[in-house]
Structures are given as C-alpha cells and as structure tokens.
Amino acid sequence: MTVANFWRGKRVLVTGHSGFKGGWLTLWLNHLGAQVTGVALAPQGGPSLFEAARLASYCQSHFVDIRDVKALDPVVMRADPEIVFHLAAQPLVLESYVNPLLTWQTNVMGTLNLLEILRNRALPCSVVVVTSDKCYENPGHSKRPFVEQDALGGHDPYSSSKAAVEIAVSSWRRSFFSDMLGLATARAGNVIGGGDWAPDRLIPDLMRALQSGTTVALRRPDSVRPWQHVLEPLAGYLRLAEALAANPKGYSGAWNFGPDASAAMTVREVTERVAAAHPELRFAALDHAHVHEAFFLLLDSSKAKRRLDWTSRWSASVAIAKTLEWYAAVAREENAAVMCLRQIDTYASDASADPDATREFAHGA
C-alpha cells in the first residue's frame, strides 16, 4: 500500500504529533523506518495518546506553539525534513465558538508560519497540509458528496478557518512553491480509533460515559457523517506524500480521503453500534443543539482512488469494532503503542493484496 522502502531513513516532520491523528501517524512512520521529528503543543490535562503510547520515544519531540514563528523556525531547520505532514491545529468545532481568534490564529497563521519557514529553506521537500471535510461551503440542502472543486466556506469559525487554510495554501503554492516542492492539502473528517480523548467527539464521549456510568447527550443524533478508522486517511496521506516526492507538479493540489457512501451513518446509529457491544451504555438525544452543525456531509474520493490507488479498506462496522478493541485492550492495561502497531500491521496486511503497492508516480497517471 506504500512504495517499497520509500520511508526508510526519510527525514519527516509531523506537526501535531501530540494529537490523535498525529500520534498514530508518528507511530506508523517510525514503524516504516522514518526519522520523525514532532512539533506540537504539550498534551493539556486528562489522558492522551501521546502519553499512553509514550510517543516521545518514537520521534524527536518538541513542544512548540506553531503561532510562534521564532520558536518554530529553528526546530524545522534542525529537522531538515524531506517530507512534512502538517496536522497541528485547533481541531474542535465547539471550541472554535469559544475561542474563534485562537482557532484562526492557529489554523491559518500557524500554517503560513510553517510554509514561510519552508519557503526560505534551500532544499526542497514535499508537504501535506491536513485540513478537513468541513472546509466546503455546505448549505445543508444538498446530499451530493463534495468533490475537490466545490466551493469552500464554513459557517462556524473552525470550518471557515479550514477553508481559509485551503485558499492560503493554494496561493502560496502558485506564488512560491510550484518549482521547489510538492504542496498538497488533504481533506478528511470524522475519523475514529483508539486513543482519542478529545471533548465533544462522539466515541471519546461514549468511552467517558462508560467509564463514569453517566448518560451521553447526543448532539444532532440524526446528522449523517462518513465514519472511518484513523488509519484510512493516514494511509492516503502517506500515499500522497510518496506521489508528491516523485512528481511534485503532478500531485500538488487538494485531495479528498473519505469512505464510500456505505460508511455513512447517523450519530444515533454509531451510538447504537457501541451500545450493542456495551449494553450498560446510556444515551439520550438533545432536544436541540445550541450551535450550527451541518446535517449531511460526505466526500467524493474518486480522485484519490483513480490517481493514488487509495481506497477505504475497513467498513464503518470494522472501524467501530477496531476502536472498541483498542479501548478495551488499554483498559486491561495492555501497552497502547503495541496495540496501535498491531492494528497498523493488520491494516497493512489487509491492504497487501493491492497490485499497485509498489507503483511509481513519476508520470502522474
């Protein structure tokens, strides 16, 4: 599923490595033989994948605020990356209503700080900027999956900040980077998996309720989302980075990495799947939500399927089962990193039948 031996010895910078997706990506890259440098804020209270999996032992870890370009610059320069995955962000919709300026400063200006540092470096590299499926203007009345050419926008500060990142990256790519590096954006959302303890996300809320014996209040229980395991989009990011390294011009741009429509479920349906495995789970629907959220959101990933040979490997049911498996194992005090690596190996094995696993991207076919 990845080009043979591509990652061995590669210098890779991961921003946001202390977060949920960044943590899984750091482990996977280390597992592939990459030399990983991580840049992120330190985990703030409560459990985290970074601490549970002892991620500092899998990379050169630096706690830096990406809004502080003077602190960020020397870390990036010392890492001297050949590949960059930019995941550092304020990632929560509800938090963006509480701290809208911080959300924009982190997501937009933090991204531009990184791009400006890279722009001033002497050596080229390939960059994957991770945004969100919420970057699309979503009026709510269309049930057509979004394609990369659809209008960008966003009602809430988080979504609008991700749309702004997309516009800014496109501008910097066309203005400065077209001849020196590959620069792409990756759009995915509603990923699930072990090690996510963020507030106001469905699976973490359900896990906390199981631990505490409390009742979960479901926000917008009938909202439809594409649910995918965290390894699905991460596999796409890895494949995209490989393609960028081989053909920067051919693979720069925006890419969707969402599951098939069959993976779409309502919030209530996912909760009921978890409750089937944990009958003690108690949940109730809120009569109304206090903030705007899109009712329907799906991505069309035909471009990634056609040009990167990327496709979703695990159904929503498997993704939910793997997620519950992880939390159950860690609750039994099994090693969190070992559990992650075991699931990474299982996922890679499930994808090993891909006849194009050693595909070259030089022609951008």
Would residue 364 count as lying in a domain? no
Would residue 357 count as lying in a domain? no
CATH code for the domain in which residue 312 is found: 3.40.50.720
Q: What is the mean pLDDT of each run of 10 residues along the chain (365 residues)?
A: 80 98 98 98 92 97 98 96 97 94 98 95 86 89 86 94 98 84 92 93 93 90 88 98 94 94 86 94 75 71 97 93 96 96 95 48 53
Q: Residue 254 has what pLDDT?
A: 98
Q: Residue 7 has what pLDDT?
A: 97
Would residue 365 count as lying in a domain? no
Would residue 5 count as lying in a domain? no
At 131-156, the pLDDT tens digits run: 999 999 987 666 789 999 999 998 89
Query: What share of the chain in percent tops pLDDT 70?
Result: 90
Burial of residue 318 (CB within 10 Å: 0-12, 13-18, 19+) is middle
Q: Is 140 left (phi over 0), alpha (psi -120 to 50) or beta?
A: left
Would residue 311 count as lying in a domain? yes
Q: Residue 41 has what pLDDT?
A: 97
Would residue 362 count as lying in a domain? no
At 207-220, the pLDDT tens digits run: 999 999 999 999 88
Q: Residue 3 has what pLDDT?
A: 58
- The residues near 69 (Cβ < 8 Å, ≥ 6 apart) are 113, 116, 117
Domain count, the chain: 1
Would residue 91 count as lying in a domain? yes
Domain coverage including residue 253? 11-350
Rounded CA separation 40/345 (Å): 26
Would residue 35 count as lying in a domain? yes
Q: Residue 319 has what pLDDT?
A: 95
What pTM was computed for the model? 0.93
